[in-house]
Amino acid sequence: MDRIYKLLLNDKFILGVICFNALIIFAQGFDISVTSHFILSNVDNIITIIFIGELIIKIREYGFKEFFKSKWNIFDALLIVLAIPSLIYWFTNISTFDLDYLLVLRVTRIFKFFRFLRFFPQINELINGVRLALNASIIVLLGFFVFIFIVSIVTTFIYKDISPDHFGNPIRSLYSVFKVFTVEGWYEVPDEVAAKLPSFASGITKFFFVIILLLGGIFGLSLVNSIFVDAMVSDNNDELERKVESLEAKIDLLMEEVKRGNAE
């Protein structure tokens, strides 16, 4: 029992279980025999029990309050809770209700791997940089979304009857405009719409989508990326500036001492 206790407190063992669990869930995505699916499902649920045991033992080891002081531990516990429905389904074998959609939640256990990011060098600085970048670019992102939203509504009213597959409703239009912005469908979508129009209207349509691509796909995304990246590295730049200022102050102090020594 003591060996199991120590094993569940071993991060290397838990990381190995997480990786093995990922392979099990990956294999279940293929068309496999009923027997193989049964075996993999049982192994998958046993791994869930291991994770629940790990959670209980760590709470007992560190104490409830101390354990949940860490955001990583809260994240880890949440993922385990989300995977419990599949375990209940396994134990009770409920056939009255269709709970298959709940089994998808077991995939969340793979995200337990992110708990080990805290062991990566300078991960806190990286996370802090991402947070600062999101805060700095939130207004631009919001403005960019509003622009996409407006364009999707406009294109819906213009091309709804011409190309219902792409612009039949605002949701479809939003997706099509986003594809144009990301250069995923920058010419397929306009060409398909233009092919259903007379030559003059076809030319206007292509010009319209060129303007959309320039404003949103090239200028808009470039602006969002530049602001995000600039905010991401600004924290490192601030640290470098502080070091340079400190070095300059030391050099000035040294020069003063040299001048004072020469004067004497």
Give residue 236's pLDDT: 54
Alpha helices in 63-122 (DSSP H): 64-67, 71-92, 100-103
What ranges do the domains of the chain cover?
A: 2-119, 125-263
Backbone Cα Rg of the chain: 29
Ranges of beta strands (E only) in 74-178 are: none
Give residue 124's pLDDT: 65
Give, in words, the CATH class of 125-263.
mainly alpha
pLDDT single digits (tens) 82-93: 777 777 777 776
Report the run of H or E that residue 184 belongs to, with start and end.
none
Q: Decide: 154 and 143 in contact? Cβ < 8 Å.
A: no
Q: Which residue has the tokens 């337990």?
A: 112
Give residue 64's pLDDT: 86
Q: Is 0.85 topped by the overall pTM?
A: no
Phi, psi of 197 (to 5 degrees): -115, 160
Give, in words, the CATH class of 2-119.
mainly alpha
What SS3 class is residue 93?
coil
Question: CA-based angle 106:109:110, to the nearest 5?
Answer: 115
Give residue 96's pLDDT: 42
Cβ-based neighbours of 12, under 8 Å, separated by 6 or more: none
- Give the HSE-up count for residue 98: Cα atoms under 13 Å, Cβ half-sphere: 1
Q: Decide: 83 and 108 in contact? Cβ < 8 Å.
A: yes
pLDDT-flagged residues of the chain (< 70): 1, 93-110, 113-130, 132-133, 136, 231-242, 261-264
Give residue 99's pLDDT: 47
